[in-house]
Structure 1
Amino acid sequence: MTILDKVKTPADIKKFSRSELTELAADIRGAVLNKVSKIGGHTGPNLGVVELTIALHKVFHSPVDKFVWDVSHQTYPHKILTGRKHGFEDGHFYDITGYTSQEESEHDFFTVGHTSTSVANALGLAKARDLTDGQGNIIAILGDGSLSGGLALEAISNAGAYNQNFILILNDNQMSIAENHGGLYKGLAELRETNGQSPNNMFKAFGLDYKYLAEGNNLDALISLFEEVKDITHPIVLHINTEKGHGYQPAIDMKEAFHWRSPFNLEDGSLKNSRETKNYTRIILDYMEEKVSEGMPLVAVNGGIPMINNLKEFAEKHPENYVDAGIAEQYVTTFGGAVAAGGARAMIFHSSTFMQRAYDQFLHDLAINKEPAVVIVKSASISGSDKTHQGSFAIGMLSNIPDLVYLAPTSEEELLAMLDWSLTQKESPVILQIPEHGVENRPSSLVDFSKAQYEIVRKGTEVAILALGGLFSHGQKVMDALEKLDIKATLINPLFVADLDKETLEKLTADHSVFVTIEDGVVDGGFGQKVAGYLGKFGVKTLNYGAAKEFNDSVAIKELYDRYHLTPELMVADILEALK
């Protein structure tokens, strides 16, 4: 029996000796590595906070004392100590989520998978505690990478004006997902270099008390610090220097690669299934390289996630043409728009799930000012991810903003044609939603995308299939299946997400009684409903296919496609019923 086997609840570790706690740390690391090496997961962030988590549960009394974690990238040790260690054993990896979940445990208080939220959430709990005569310490755990997010800074400013118990732990491992960017990190470096004594202290400037701990992976030092501040009657920041990936050398040596790692070999950290395939990321990088070499004043902008688009390769060759603003989606959107407004060309890279935090910037800055920036949106698809990283909301979110050109390429050639047009026109911001189902090759029918024009790939009768972007191949399969039933359907590549080619739609109503729309996103407020809204006056039937408006938590994509009738077989059955 291991020492971890003796832990059923956090209270069990309170009687452990220091040597037993050290042994427990090794067991927790082993459990984390067992899981992530086999199915993938956040590796470095969790390994870095093992001792910090043990010390929290040793000193405080969860859930009366409330730990509010930021992002949840570092909550595996917390889960292991709070009755969920089975989720790290073979055969049970999918029994728990990868993020905090109040539905899963009384020791979690929010479902969180995005950054910079912990301080605001924790302050809200503190206010509720004080209004209801509640008990306990409120403790927010914030990573230094998350500190660049505007919400974190807004909340810290408000924490400085609070006058009751509030503890903010700044877990400073000198890393975000990738390296940190921004001037505030110079101040953090000064604090580390001076053992917390530098007068350049942003936390004190915000009105907070402050303590620094250099040995953030030292159990004794952590326990002593937490005992010192337990039940404090005013807000304080505990600036704790930890090592990302602590205890596993490959994760220390390759911090960015091990932030989130696909299944890997424990011996050396190498990936188990590593293979190069042609992808749209490579196509975009090669395109940017070509344009910069031609002298285009191009700037690639991203918010702390360069690995999603392999942008570091571009940055190394062209540092003056690259800006990583850290985790700051609002900033990169407004900044990139202003770059374009100033006469340069800006390509803003977003992941759909994080892009939603910049909604106001798309509307108020890009669209109202008609700034001709190009926004590359990845991961905007129906997927089996958890509910905090669901990328399927992009179309409904952005397609209802005026003066945005929103395009969905279906092939390499179309993407290149759209980039050529987008980076030369000066009238509108342009969104390019990158397909998520592999690279296809098909000639582009358009070179000018200033006005919605659908491509009729094949002209038929009775049934018109409008298959958008990444799910164009679904439309092809439905067309082929109908042809076997002697129904020669019309197949349309819409290309335009937000704007309708009304002329083409109206013409098709003359000899088509059923219209089918297929999109890689939520139907409500999306492309298909716009088509159906316009066609309503023509007396034709419209079937809209995409995702339902719901949160899905790690549901297999096959199950989702069956649920949404997004398989060719189910769509054909629906079409036949509509034709009756």
Structure 2
Amino acid sequence: MTMLEGIREPRDLKALGAERLGELAAEVRQFLVPAVARTGGHLGPNLGVVELTIALHRVFDSPADRILWDTGHQSYVHKLLTGRQDFSKLRIKGGLSGYPSRAESEHDVIENSHASTVLGWADGLAKAHQVRGKDDRVVAVIGDGALTGGMAWEALNNIAAAKDRPLIIVVNDNERSYAPTIGGLADHLATLRTTDGYEAFLSWSKDVLTRAPVVGRPLYESLHGAKKGFKDAFAPQGMFEDLGLKYIGPVDGHDIAAVESALRRAAGFHGPVLVHCLTEKGRGYRPALEHEADRFHTVGAMDLPPATTGRCPPAGEPVAPPGPPSWTSVFGDEMVRIGAERPDVVALTAAMLDPVGLSRFAEAYPERVWDVGIAEQHAAVCAAGLATGGLHPVFAVYATFLNRAFDQVLMDVALHRCGVTFVLDRAGVTGTDGASHNGMWDMSVLGVVPGLRIAAPRDAEQLRAQLREALDVDDAPTVVRYPKESVGEPVAAVQRIGGADVLHRPARPDVLLVAVGVMAPVCLRAAELLADRGVGATVVDPRWVRPVDDAVVQLAAGHRLVAVVEDNIRTGGVGSAVGQALRDADVDVPLRTFGIPDEFLPHAKRGELLADLGLTPAEIVGRISADLARKENRS
């Protein structure tokens, strides 16, 4: 049995001698690389927090002490140390989640995979403990770029206001999120690495504070309280202390003894305290260190043994033999072409330049792209400013993350009739990242925004065409959405009516199948199966699903039944919009909507989830046939 296999709960760590902890850290990394390589997952972030996580669980008593993770993708080591060492189905149906999960363990407090929220959670938990008279500690681990989010600073403003409320903030400072962390805060933190006195300070803090804490603590406090020049040399410390937070650091995040000492000192304070740990993303894995670390942030399945080959795709892209391009790459290529034609087109990303496909645009036009950090709200408002200044911004973002900026889309972009294009990657059912990452709400949430138009392309040709159509709109926000998968075969139209494409027209029309975006092939196959049953099905792709095209209403009037098939929640989705349009036009035709129910979906492959939801040709045909049979019986 390895040392790691002997760790079944955090208390097992406390029984280990300090001299054995380095060996344990090595075993954890030896486990992580091949385990994540088999299934895919977040590799770089977890390799960087091995020692930090060991120290956290040796100092604190989880689950009584509440350890919160932001972002949650850096919790794999935490899972290993809390009894979850079967990674054979990581992010696979029936296996471990890629994020903290309350269903998995009492040690998981929040299922946090949207960044910058943990400090708000911690503030609330600490307040609850104070009201209830509990002395269990609250520890919030924030890093991987999450401090660039505005919500984190809203929480800090509240946390610092309570000088007598214990709360420990651990900043995992690895200089990166998906890519190098940017902005003023990152610059402040970087001074601790670039100041001439940094190496001496780190050595001093390790030698004095960790080996002689009784002497070291008053010496540390006297230096920082009496010598303003020393404080000014380390600006981040001054910044946090000016907010009212005790500051400990910087600490070598890969020195377990140093981290433990810092955490024990923090636990002794009777108020909010920040522990600043410096870590190295991808530590211990040669390919991640020799190449750009963000390529190893999220990986698909990799060649084994990965330590030898280190073959890894760009972040978020699965390893696969040559085949159809991804939707993301089609968008990225088209943006480069558009950039050459239109100097007014600019781009924004929220810490995901490569995952959303903007890296080539940034290489070609570096002065026309901005990474704003994990700050979707700011990105939307900044886009409104760019549009008002005469440019046409494209904000490329995961569909699930645009939920965070709804108010800004509504009140800053739409109210001011700004020509901003939101490109939503990972729309619809995403799959392996779980409940928080499915982009299944966008068409419902954004559908209530006055004037906003939503395009759902069915293939690569339509993505290129509809992106250009969106960029021609300068008086309203536009949205272009697509899923996380490879682009399928082209789907030709037999007719264009208004702005909609008719993909299949039978001799005798009985059913109108409204195919939303990538559900077009599913609807075409359903039409074939219906034909085998003697039912004629017209398949129409609205292309722009909001607002509903008059052509869809006209087509509906000539059919016995209308069925809308979408990879969005049914409530408030395209089906709801089509139904409202039919009622407004006094078209009395029965309508059935195939989509996602109002529930959070488990992690699984996209195809598995679609099958479970009944979004397959056979399921669609079965329900439509039953509807038609009931209609005939009533007549």
The correspondence of residues 321-332 of structure 1 with structure 2, limited to 5 A, is 321-332=368-379
C-alpha distance in structure 2 between counterparts of 1:285 and 1:24, whole Å:
42
Partner of 2:500: 454
The correspondence of residues 176-187 of structure 1 with structure 2, limited to 5 A, is 176-187=177-188
Partner of 1:542: 591
Contact persistence 2:556–2:589 (CA under 8 A): no
Matched, 1:370 2:417: yes
**Mean Cα deviation higher: 425-434 or 233-242:** 425-434
Structure 2 residue identity aligned to 1:281: T
C-alpha distance in structure 1 between counterparts of 2:411 and 2:90, whole Å:
49
Partner of 1:62: 62
The correspondence of residues 177-326 of structure 1 with structure 2, limited to 5 A, is 177-194=178-195, 195=198, 197=231, 198=233, 200-201=235-236, 202-253=239-290, 254-264=292-302, 265=304, 266=306, 267-271=308-312, 273=320, 275=322, 277-326=324-373
1:60 Cα offset (Å): 1.6
The correspondence of residues 419-438 of structure 1 with structure 2, limited to 5 A, is 419-436=467-484, 438=487
Q: 1:187 to 1:556 in 2, by over 3 A?
A: closer
Matched, 1:359 2:406: yes
- Select which of 571, 589, 595 maps to 1:524: 571
1:444 Cα offset (Å): 7.6
1:443 Cα offset (Å): 6.1
Q: 1:114 to 1:579 in 2, by over 3 A?
A: same
Contact persistence 2:430–2:437 (CA under 8 A): no
Contact persistence 2:514–2:542 (CA under 8 A): yes
1:418 Cα offset (Å): 2.3
Contact persistence 1:350–1:376 (CA under 8 A): yes
Q: 1:150 to 1:554 in 2, by over 3 A?
A: same
**Mean Cα deviation higher: 528-537 or 161-170:** 528-537
1:435 Cα offset (Å): 5.0
- Select which of 448, 472, 482 maps to 2:530: 482
Q: 1:52 to 1:279 in 2, by over 3 A?
A: closer
C-alpha distance in structure 1 between counterparts of 2:141 and 2:374, whole Å:
17
C-alpha distance in structure 1 between counterparts of 2:173 and 2:325, whole Å:
37
Structure 2 residue identity aligned to 1:330: Q
Contact persistence 1:141–1:171 (CA under 8 A): yes
Partner of 1:343: 390
Structure 2 residue identity aligned to 1:103: A
Q: 1:458 to 1:144 in 2, by over 3 A?
A: closer
1:488 Cα offset (Å): 2.2
Flag structure 2 segments of 5+ consecutive residues without an equivalent: 202-230, 313-318, 630-635
C-alpha distance in structure 2 between counterparts of 1:414 and 1:63, whole Å:
51
**Mean Cα deviation higher: 78-87 or 43-52:** 78-87
Three-state SS of the structure 1 residue aligned to 2:235 is coil
- Select which of 506, 516, 531 maps to 1:468: 516
Partner of 2:620: 571
Contact persistence 1:413–1:444 (CA under 8 A): no
Partner of 2:83: 83
C-alpha distance in structure 2 between counterparts of 1:409 and 1:523, whole Å:
19
1:95 Cα offset (Å): 3.1
1:284 Cα offset (Å): 2.8
C-alpha distance in structure 1 between counterparts of 2:616 and 2:91, whole Å:
30
Q: 1:174 to 1:507 in 2, by over 3 A?
A: closer
Contact persistence 1:210–1:236 (CA under 8 A): yes
Contact persistence 2:333–2:360 (CA under 8 A): no
The correspondence of residues 387-398 of structure 1 with structure 2, limited to 5 A, is 387-398=435-446
Three-state SS of the structure 1 residue aligned to 2:37 is helix
C-alpha distance in structure 1 between counterparts of 2:588 and 2:621, whole Å:
21
Flag structure 1 segments of 5+ consecutive residues without an equivalent: none
1:398 Cα offset (Å): 0.9
TM-score (norm 1): 0.94
C-alpha distance in structure 2 between counterparts of 1:318 and 1:423, whole Å:
17
Q: 1:295 to 1:381 in 2, by over 3 A?
A: closer
1:476 Cα offset (Å): 1.0
**Mean Cα deviation higher: 408-417 or 322-331:** 408-417
Contact persistence 1:43–1:251 (CA under 8 A): no
Contact persistence 1:410–1:440 (CA under 8 A): no
Structure 2 residue identity aligned to 1:223: E
1:170 Cα offset (Å): 0.6
Contact persistence 1:452–1:500 (CA under 8 A): no
Q: 1:216 to 1:14 in 2, by over 3 A?
A: same
Matched, 1:494 2:494: no
Three-state SS of the structure 1 residue aligned to 2:22 is helix
Partner of 1:20: 20
Contact persistence 2:512–2:562 (CA under 8 A): yes
Partner of 1:147: 147
C-alpha distance in structure 1 between counterparts of 2:495 and 2:355, whole Å:
28
Structure 2 residue identity aligned to 1:66: R
1:89 Cα offset (Å): 8.8
Contact persistence 1:215–1:241 (CA under 8 A): yes
Matched, 1:111 2:111: yes
**Mean Cα deviation higher: 85-94 or 303-312:** 85-94
C-alpha distance in structure 1 between counterparts of 2:533 and 2:421, whole Å:
43
C-alpha distance in structure 2 between counterparts of 1:332 and 1:490, whole Å:
41
Instruction: Give aligned pairs, total.
Output: 576
C-alpha distance in structure 2 between counterparts of 1:532 and 1:64, whole Å:
51
Structure 2 residue identity aligned to 1:79: K
